[in-house]
Amino acid sequence: MNESQKNILEGLEKLYPDAGPELHFSNPYETLVATILAAQCTDARVNQVTPAVFRDFPDAKAMAQTTPEVLFPYVKSCGFKSKAVNIVNACKIIAEKYDGQVPSTLEELTALPGVGRKTANVVLAFSFGIPAIPVDTHVFRVANRLGLSDALTVEETEKQLMALIPRDKWSQAHHWMIYHGRRVCHSQRPDCEGCALKSWCKAAHQEQMINPKADAKKRAQARKARS
Ligand code: SF4
C-alpha cells in the first residue's frame, strides 16, 4: 500500500465512521431479497416495498409457495419482472435444497437465480459476518478514481481491494466507498473541489480518470498493445 492509498483509507474511515447498510433487513432471507431488488434501483425505493413483502412472505419457504405473478405487484416499482421471477425461483431452491435456510458460501449463493457475486458478497458480509467486498457501480467508480485499484472489471477491482485493504476492514471499506460515491464522488459530476480526499486522489489529477469505465477501455487497449 502506498502513502496516498494509506491516507485515502484513513480519510474515508474518518469521513464515514458510522457507514453501514442503507437497505433495511434483519436476516439472510431479507438481505437476499432486498439486495436482488436493489439492482438498478435506489435503496430508498426498495425500503418502501420490502415491509409488505416481508410481512406477507416472511421467509424463504413462504416465498417459495407463491408465484412471480403474485409477487410482482409488491415489487413493481423496483423495476423488472425478472426480479420477482428470480426471487421466487431462488426461494424454491432454498426451500427444497437448504430446508429454507439461505446458504452461506459464495458458490452456493451465486448458483441461485438472480444472485451475482455482488449480491452474494452482501449476504455473506452483512448476514453471516464473513468479510467481503461487494463491488457495485459506486465501489468500482470510487476505488478506480481514487487509485485504490486500477482494474478493468468489477471482479478485478474486488481482488485488488481485497489484496490492499486489511481483511477486518473489508465490509466497512465497501460502505465508505458507497457513501463517498453517493455523497461526493458522483458518477457524472464529482465534487472534486469539495472532496476531502482530493490531494491523494489519482483522478483529480488525471481528467480522463473521472470516467473509470471509459478509462478502463483505454487501459485495456494499452495492456493489449503492450502484450
Ligand atoms: S477528488 Fe474528485 S474524483 Fe477524486 S474521490 Fe474526490 S470527488 Fe472523486
Tens of pLDDT, residues 105-161: 999 999 999 999 999 999 999 999 999 899 988 999 999 999 999 888 888 999 999
Q: Which spans in the chain are helix H?
A: 3-15, 28-38, 43-56, 60-64, 68-75, 81-97, 106-110, 117-127, 137-146, 154-164, 170-183, 212-226
pLDDT at 143: 95
Distance 225 CA to ligand 1 centre (A): 29
Q: Which residues of 22-36 are buried (b: 16+ CB within 10 A; e: fewer)?
A: ebebeebbbbbbbbb
The arrangement of secondary structure in 134-226, i.e. its CATH architecture, is Orthogonal Bundle (1.10)
CATH number of 28-127: 1.10.340.30
pLDDT at 214: 63
- CATH 1.10.340.30 in the chain is located at 28-127
Annotated catalytic residue: which of 136, 150, 169, 198? 136
pLDDT at 64: 97
Q: Assess whether pLDDT exceeds 80 at residue 224.
A: no
Distance 216 CA to ligand 1 centre (A): 17
pLDDT at 65: 97
- CATH 1.10.1670.10 in the chain is located at 134-226
pLDDT at 204: 84
Please give the Cα distance from 91 to 98 (Å, whole number). 10
What is the pLDDT confidence band of residue 33, given thresholds at 50, 70 and 90?
very high
Catalytic-residue membership of 136:
yes
Sign of CA dihedral 164, 166, 172, 176: negative
pTM of the model: 0.80
CB contact set of 200 (below 8 Å; sequence gap of 6+): 4, 5, 7, 8, 11, 146, 147
Q: Is residue 192 within 6 Å of ligand 1 at its C-beta?
A: yes
Q: Assess whether pLDDT exceeds 80 at residue 207.
A: no
The atom of ligand 1 lying closest to the CA of 198 is: 1
